[in-house]
């Protein structure tokens, strides 16, 4: 289909709104397509990644030869990268209701079916650390499959994205594998500087001060969830730059029943970020102060959609095409940070 013959190309399975795709494209890699069963991510993916096709399919129902027939993808292409960042709810330490995430458990094995059919030069996987420690994980079957298919050169590690230029403490399982002889893969070089919230957010970085409930109708999307009157009172009493809910725990009007006598648990909930530290892990619920340390360091509100996206290293011109704050936050929180994805792409091109 007229793709560049000598250029690295990729297929991004479980692509969501395109964090990995965006980063690989920034590295100069031709991302042929992204595959995902979340139709709500389609418009965001296609709008921001023109030329990369969003395939709205459940991987279990996608024929192995689909990319051969529709995109001219050839088998044993040394410059083909297959990416499998499968939904990870089943192995997440955050999600306690594993019954809802049972369907995500075997997606990595389904991804292996395409590796077996095409034998791409490179394979990339990113997932939660729990995929390594959970005894029911499909990872070890996946690794055995890779080995049997000739991917003898495999590097895998639990990494913290804050060590790779992402202004966020985000521990992830990262894997890169190749079947090519004489190629020694590795993970990207760690950054010399750890970026903090102050390095990317704040007025001096282009984020005007706003109040809870502010709606930004521009593509910048500096939109933030509203707060109830009682939550505004809580925020007003939460010290700036790292304060938490313990500052109002002894006020009966403000204290939540679920935290009475439990000052030692969930201390991050209703907490503020620190300016001089990386942000906490940006989850799909970062728009809600009750779900973690997602309050602005100084302003009495949660971080905005654009602030969350920036902490995930999405470009500021990346537009989230959704009808709700929750929908945008879901795309952002589920994404692979673009900056880390770019480094993976650059690494492969340097080999």
Q: How far is CA 84 from CA 15, 107, 109, 338, in A?
A: 8, 9, 10, 15
Say what the pTM is: 0.93
Strand pairing class (80-84; 9-13): parallel
CB 131 within 8 A of CB 137: yes
List, in sequence order, the alpha helices (H) in 29-106. 42-48, 66-71
Q: What is the DSSP secondary structure assignment for residue 196, as one 8-state letter?
A: -
Does the annotation mark 88 as catalytic?
yes
Asked if pLDDT for residue 1 goes beyond 50, the answer is: no
Nearest CA among 133, 141, 91 for reference residue 116: 141
The tens digit of pLDDT for each residue in 294-312 reads 999 999 999 999 999 999 9
Q: At what angle do helices 107-118 and 139-148 cross, to 10 degrees?
A: 10
More confident site: 55 or 99: 55
**What's the whole-number mean pLDDT along residues 31-47?**
97
The domain 9-190+336-350: what is its CATH number? 3.40.50.150
182, burial (CB in 10 Å: exposed 0-12, middle 13-18, buried 19+): exposed
Question: Which pLDDT value is given to residue 25?
Answer: 98
- Rounded to an integer, the average pLDDT of 191-198 is 97
Q: What is the mean pLDDT of residues 140-168?
A: 96
Number of Cβ atoms within 10 Å of the Cβ of 271: 22
- How many other CB atoms are there within 10 angstroms of residue 86's CB atom? 24
Q: Where are the domains of the chain?
A: 9-190+336-350
pLDDT band of residue 2 (cuts 50, 70, 90) is very low
- CA–CA distance, 331 with 312 (Å, rounded to integer): 11
253-262 pLDDT, tens digit per residue, is 887 767 666 6
- What's the pLDDT tens digit per position in 82-128? 999 987 654 444 444 455 444 556 789 999 999 999 999 999 999 98
DSSP 3-state of 40: helix
DSSP string, 289-351: GGGSS-B-SSSSSBPPHHHHHHHTT--TT-----SSHHHHHHHHHHSPPHHHHHHHHHHHHH-
Given 15, 22, 85, 88, the catalytic residue: 88
Percent residues over pLDDT 90 in the chain:
81
């Amino acid at each position: 289909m007229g793709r560049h013959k000598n250029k690295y190309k990729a297929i991004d399975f479980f692509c969501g709104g395109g964090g990995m795709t965006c980063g690989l494209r920034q590295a100069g890699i031709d991302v042929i397509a992204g595959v995902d069963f979340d139709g709500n991510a389609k418009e965001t993916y296609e709008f921001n990644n023109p030329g990369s096709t969003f395939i709205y399919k459940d991987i279990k129902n996608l024929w192995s030869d689909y990319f051969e027939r529709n995109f001219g993808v050839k088998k044993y292409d040394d410059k083909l990268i297959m990416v499998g960042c499968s939904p990870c709810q089943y192995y997440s330490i955050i999600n306690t209701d594993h019954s809802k995430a049972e369907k995500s458990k075997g997606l990595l094995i389904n991804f292996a079916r395409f590796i077996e059919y095409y034998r791409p030069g490179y394979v990339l996987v990113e997932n939660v650390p729990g995929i390594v420690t959970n005894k029911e994980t499909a990872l070890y079957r996946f690794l055995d499959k890779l080995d049997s298919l000739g991917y003898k050169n495999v590097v895998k590690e639990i990494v913290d994205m804050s060590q790779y230029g992402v202004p966020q403490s985000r521990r992830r399982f990262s894997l890169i594998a190749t079947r090519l002889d004489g190629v020694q893969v590795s993970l990207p070089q760690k950054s010399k500087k750890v970026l903090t919230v102050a390095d990317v957010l704040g007025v001096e970085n282009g984020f005007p001060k706003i109040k809870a409930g502010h709606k930004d109708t521009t593509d910048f999307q500096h939109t933030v969830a509203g707060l109830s009157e009682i939550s505004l009172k809580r925020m007003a009493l939460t010290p700036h730059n790292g304060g938490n809910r313990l500052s109002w725990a002894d006020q009966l009007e403000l204290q939540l029943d679920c935290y009475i006598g439990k000052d030692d648990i969930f201390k991050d909930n209703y907490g503020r970020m620190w300016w001089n530290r990386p942000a906490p892990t940006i989850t799909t619920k970062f728009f809600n102060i009750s779900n973690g340390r997602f309050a602005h360091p100084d302003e009495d509100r949660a971080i905005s959609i654009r602030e969350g996206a920036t902490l995930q290293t999405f470009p500021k011109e990346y537009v989230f095409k959704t009808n709700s704050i929750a929908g945008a936050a879901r795309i952002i929180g589920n994404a692979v940070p673009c900056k880390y994805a770019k480094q993976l792409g650059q690494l492969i091109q340097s080999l």
